[in-house]
Structure 1
Amino acid sequence: MRTSNRWRFIVPAVAIATIVSGCGAGSTTKEQSNPVEQAKTGIDYNEAVELSIYASSSSFTEELFKTRIEEHVRKKFPNYKLKYVKPGSMTVPDMIATNNVPDIFLFALPEMQKNLFPNGLQYDLTELINKYNVDLNRFEPGLLQTFREVSGEGKLYGLPESTNPHVMFYNKDLYDKFGVPYPKNGMTWDEAYEMSRKLTSFQEGVSYKGVALFFRTVLSNNEDSLPLIDAKTERASVNTAQWKKQFDNLKRFYELNGMLTGYKPGSDGGTELTSFYTDKNMAAIVSPFSGYTRDGMKDMNWNMVSVPVHSENKGVGLQVEPRGIFIANTSKVKEQAFHVLMHVLSDEVELANSKAGKTTSLNNETIVKSFASEIDLLKGKNTSAVFYNKVAPSPQAPALSTNAGNLLSKEFDAVIQGNKDVNTALRNAEDTINKAIEEEIAKTRK
């Protein structure tokens, strides 16, 4: 199944007042506090409420919390007090044991499965979405489908807040050196492979590499929406013809003579990204977009394009693992927390955060075109690469939390080193993932 609308970056969506009354995204606080509007929405913007917010990722610093959430919420709801719960300060079970469960969580979907479901903290937003007539068509369909699939019941326990899509970074200096045209958005894997052949060579004592891959995430987020684990049977689902196609497509890039020179066995592709900006002998790499923030990228003459796709899937890129914003079912202020969610995901706030480099989940051309306009490192870069392709919808996620992606990546690593053929690697991956599943099941029964 494919999404019908182009994916957009995740930035804050329209305020509830905008959603309900149809007001423009640029409404002022004074207008939003209008008694007539309050009567329509039932929202008291002057109510004094305290809410706590927890983000599991250490990258979501207190500074980001203030600039991306708190400052915007304060303007909309002047008497709302938001408390930042430092990432890693307490485990979710400890939060429950001490009655300190936050009202709002910011979790990547695997973290949601690991922390909300087992502890019974998930809360279905459907009732509040219906009550306030929230237009879900504002969001990229593929992302919403991913959230519904993860629930296993088609419910919305959260909404997409941000994501880390993939792009293909390239070293402009090496393309200039070899006289090869720069890559473009919309390339196929076959075109990327032919380009890699022209760029992989040995000259003046230096082994130059063409296109490399951050292959763990590329495999796990494959464009064909192939699951690692079948959600219904809770068994591995990688020893298939479709997964063989994935392995065959990617391994050929490493079969070019010289591509494994200096390669570090045991890599999941992450060291390839490091090599891209440290050794500077790699022409391009398919990588999570967040790679641009690494210090070494500042010293490179680089740009980016969209991830290559299969010709039969033209325009459909990789899956993404969005970070979601969730309300705990233990919260005593669910409606107020929902007001915060919808304001943080408003056109007004999303536009501001998009300019500051936050991706958006909204189908809003103005927000998309504004992306990263205030980020110096991305000035002059082809930021359209991030949202050029549609998002491949994620398959239904299993209830189990395993390291299936890492186990599959390990087998692919063995293939490109020539230690295993593809069929053997996929059989081994199937066995090791099933073993991990059994171990996980055994833990839950203790």
Structure 2
Amino acid sequence: MKKRVVSASVLAIAVLTVAAGCGGKEGGEKGQQVKPEVNKDPITLQLAVQGTGAVVDQEFQAIVNEHLKKKYPHITINYNPESQGTTIDALLAAGTPPDIIITFNGNLASYRDKELVYDMTPQFQTNGGDLGRFEATYINDVKNASDKGELYGLPVNVNYHAMYYNKDIFDKFGVAYPTNGMNWNQLLDTARKLTRKEGGTQYRGLDPGSTIIWMSQPLSIAVIDPKTDKAIINTDKWRRVFELAKSIYDIPGNGYIAESPKDQFMKSKTLAILLDLNILNQLASAEKEGLNWDVAQYPSYPEQPNTYGNASVYVAVGTKPSKYKDDVAKVIDLMSSEEVQLALSQKGRLSPLRSEKVKDALGSENPALKNKDLPSIFKSKPVPYPVASIYRSKAESAAVTVFRQYLNGGMDVNTALKQTEEAVNKLVEAEKGKQ
């Protein structure tokens, strides 16, 4: 679930819970007008992003800036896109480290190792921040980056997994729409009914979105052990995932094709069911081009009902070199406030807050989302984000490569798992040899 300059709208998803004390004394009681800080010297905070280009977009920036001007008019944010010269590494190399970084939680451990982040708990406490406003899972996912339970920042947006489906294809073949609470076997049966060739067009019933990777996550299994950096894929649970994924792609007419699953679903409209992350705004645009879609709950394993995989948590963190740590903490708290998160949710961005008001507002100001079954998204919860090896991404790529060979009939599942194990261990050995 894992790895995405950060969109302004996604950041804005974070909600300021004044009633819970997030806004401190300045926020006052719920319903009272927020008093801006005055008579402060103007400052400009540099904000960089990594892997969150779709989050910190113009929409996100506009929402954050609007609320920032009201409460902290002396603070201006300069948003640095993730491009040549403004990447985090480039800024550090130039001796101009950013004050704030928005990234996904999987990057935090590397920042810790570079001594770029620090425990912001004291700053959040000083500003009256209430961590109880967040879903506990998301705060824990941030804290997991530290072996001491330190808090390097606050969640401002989250990924989720959902089932998107093309209603026109279901109607064309007379198949009932997906229902919430489906398990993988039920979804597989539905996919078989929808995989057909009609009028010279091949329709695919189902694509899991990321082959074996997202399918494995609800079982809380990994390709590589973060403590030993050794492959741990030759197991019964991984065997089950390989076999289930193969059964999806082995449906006649449902195998790999050159067109990406997203394009099949949103452009050529030949894919009936796509399992993916939060792509609501992309789907809203595709609807203008004729896509008739809706959303349902992500499928579950019977022993793990109402559970999907890793929900990458997008986090705003303060950097250790910053000269404005108190102001940085105030800005991050604002980004994750209920007011900001509510505005982001209304645009279709999923918030890390527990607030039912924020959840109920999801997509309410986007006409293309008003009649969709968005509450289905909240019927499942993510597994805890794993403490991962630094070689996780490359190890998973190696696993996918061997899976495709297995899918093409080159070997049986036991051989595939054994070959994956060997490939991952050789990969890590080679990577360590470069250091």
Q: Aligned-pair distance for 1:327?
A: 0.5
Q: Aligned-pair distance for 1:202?
A: 3.6
C-alpha separation in 2, matches of 1:128 and 1:345: 15
C-alpha separation in 1, matches of 2:334 and 2:230: 40
Residues 50-89 of structure 1 correspond to what in structure 2 (within 5 A)?
50-56=44-50, 57-60=52-55, 63-88=58-83, 89=85
- Given that 2:215 and 2:309 are in contact with CA atoms closer than 8 Å, whether structure 1 keeps it comes out as no
What's 1:234 paired with?
229
CA 1:153–1:241 in structure 2 vs 1: closer, same or farther (change >3 Å)?
farther
Q: Aligned-pair distance for 1:199?
A: 1.8
Residues 113-132 of structure 1 correspond to what in structure 2 (within 5 A)?
113-114=109-110, 116-132=111-127
- Given that 1:220 and 1:228 are in contact with CA atoms closer than 8 Å, whether structure 2 keeps it comes out as no
- The answer to whether residue 98 in structure 2 is matched with residue 102 in structure 1 is yes
Query: Percent sequence identity over matched residues?
Result: 28
Q: What secondary structure sits across from 2:162 in the alignment?
A: strand
Q: What secondary structure sits across from 1:312 in the alignment?
A: coil
Given the alignment, which residue of 277, 288, 308 partners 1:317? 308
CA 1:62–1:172 in structure 2 vs 1: closer, same or farther (change >3 Å)?
closer
What's 1:187 paired with?
182
- Given that 2:216 and 2:238 are in contact with CA atoms closer than 8 Å, whether structure 1 keeps it comes out as no
Say which structure, 1 or 2, has more relative contact order (CA 8 Å, 6+ apart). 1
CA 1:330–1:402 in structure 2 vs 1: closer, same or farther (change >3 Å)?
same
Deviation track 1:153-208 (CA, whole Å, cap 9, x = no partner) reads: 43222222212322111111111122211112221112111211222234444433
Q: Aligned-pair distance for 1:291?
A: 6.7
Q: Aligned-pair distance for 1:59?
A: 3.2
Deviation track 1:226-259 (CA, whole Å, cap 9, x = no partner) reads: 1232121122222211211222222211222221
What's 1:11 paired with?
13
What's 1:419 paired with?
410
Deviation track 1:57-79 (CA, whole Å, cap 9, x = no partner) reads: 44356623531322211111111
- Given that 1:13 and 1:347 are in contact with CA atoms closer than 8 Å, whether structure 2 keeps it comes out as yes
What's 1:4 paired with?
none
CA 1:171–1:77 in structure 2 vs 1: closer, same or farther (change >3 Å)?
same
Deviates more, 1:49-58 or 1:101-110: 49-58
CA 1:92–1:417 in structure 2 vs 1: closer, same or farther (change >3 Å)?
same
Structure 1 segments unaligned to the other structure (5+ residues): 1-8, 34-43, 265-269
Structure 2 segments unaligned to the other structure (5+ residues): 1-10
Residues 356-367 of structure 1 correspond to what in structure 2 (within 5 A)?
356-367=347-358
Deviation track 1:83-133 (CA, whole Å, cap 9, x = no partner) reads: 22222233434322332111100012344445x234320211222234445
Deviation track 1:207-232 (CA, whole Å, cap 9, x = no partner) reads: 33222221248537611221232121
C-alpha separation in 2, matches of 1:375 and 1:213: 27
- The answer to whether residue 287 in structure 2 is matched with residue 287 in structure 1 is no
- Given that 1:54 and 1:87 are in contact with CA atoms closer than 8 Å, whether structure 2 keeps it comes out as yes
Residues 124-203 of structure 1 correspond to what in structure 2 (within 5 A)?
124-203=119-198
Aligned amino acid, residue 334 of structure 2: H
Given the alignment, which residue of 392, 404, 420 partners 2:395? 404
C-alpha separation in 2, matches of 1:211 and 1:326: 38
Aligned amino acid, residue 393 of structure 1: P
Aligned amino acid, residue 154 of structure 2: L
C-alpha separation in 1, matches of 2:127 and 2:32: 18
Given the alignment, which residue of 260, 263, 282 partners 1:271? 260
- Given that 2:112 and 2:118 are in contact with CA atoms closer than 8 Å, whether structure 1 keeps it comes out as no
What's 2:3 paired with?
none
Deviates more, 1:14-23 or 1:320-329: 14-23
Q: Aligned-pair distance for 1:363?
A: 0.6
C-alpha separation in 2, matches of 1:154 and 1:179: 52
- Given that 1:16 and 1:342 are in contact with CA atoms closer than 8 Å, whether structure 2 keeps it comes out as no
C-alpha separation in 1, matches of 2:155 and 2:268: 36
C-alpha separation in 1, matches of 2:215 and 2:147: 19
C-alpha separation in 2, matches of 1:199 and 1:93: 47
Q: Aligned-pair distance for 1:380?
A: 1.4
Aligned amino acid, residue 359 of structure 2: V
- The answer to whether residue 363 in structure 2 is matched with residue 372 in structure 1 is yes
C-alpha separation in 1, matches of 2:154 and 2:432: 29
CA 1:175–1:220 in structure 2 vs 1: closer, same or farther (change >3 Å)?
closer
Provide the alpha-carbon RMSD of the alignment: 2.7
C-alpha separation in 2, matches of 1:273 and 1:420: 29
Deviation track 1:395-442 (CA, whole Å, cap 9, x = no partner) reads: 212245642222222222233333333222222222222233223323
Deviation track 1:42-64 (CA, whole Å, cap 9, x = no partner) reads: xx784533311112244356623
What's 2:33 paired with?
28
CA 1:61–1:179 in structure 2 vs 1: closer, same or farther (change >3 Å)?
same
Q: What secondary structure sits across from 1:410 in the alignment?
A: helix
Aligned amino acid, residue 275 of structure 1: Q
CA 1:306–1:291 in structure 2 vs 1: closer, same or farther (change >3 Å)?
same
Given the alignment, which residue of 257, 278, 298 partners 1:307? 298
Number of paired residues?
418
Q: What secondary structure sits across from 1:391 in the alignment?
A: strand
- Given that 2:164 and 2:275 are in contact with CA atoms closer than 8 Å, whether structure 1 keeps it comes out as yes
Deviation track 1:312-335 (CA, whole Å, cap 9, x = no partner) reads: 111122221122111001111111
What's 1:210 paired with?
205
CA 1:149–1:227 in structure 2 vs 1: closer, same or farther (change >3 Å)?
farther
What's 2:250 paired with?
255
C-alpha separation in 2, matches of 1:253 and 1:24: 54
